[in-house]
Structure 1
Amino acid sequence: MTSSGVDKVYAVVGGFHLSGPFFEPIIERTIGELKAIDPLYVVPTHCTGRNAILNIEREMRGQFILNMSGTKMTFSA
């Protein structure tokens, strides 16, 4: 976050594209990087991949939000 000048990341939301055998080896490294950012919330979407989503949920239980079709989120300052 030194390059952005942001002190705290509120949420990381999106598809991390970690589905399939090619990406399997980098799931744990990606989770490590997410932990280093230490956002208040991590919200992986469908194209993150099931295995990666399950691992993120296990490793970041207090920060993980399950995103499903129709999930609505409201962020306010």
Structure 2
Amino acid sequence: MISVIDEIRAVRLETIALHFRITKADCFNEVRSFESDVLALMWRLETDDRVSKLDIDNLGVVFTMALKSRRHELTF
């Protein structure tokens, strides 16, 4: 049980760090580079049976909106 909690904590910290890097990106190309990081994280979560599909979809929406929002902020 402890190992599962540690794994969840590690994934949680990774998602928070990725979201922070997206919100602090300085240029459009940097935001584009984070798209591959988001896709890699989502793919890794989809291969894990312990994470529900709904949670993965919700996380995908959060990251998609963060990427779009930051691109919009940098464009205007």
Pairwise TM-score range, normalised by the shorter structure: 0.3 to 0.5
Q: TM-score, normalised by structure 1?
A: 0.33
* Greater radius of gyration (CA): 2
- The structure with more strand, counted as a fraction of residues: 1
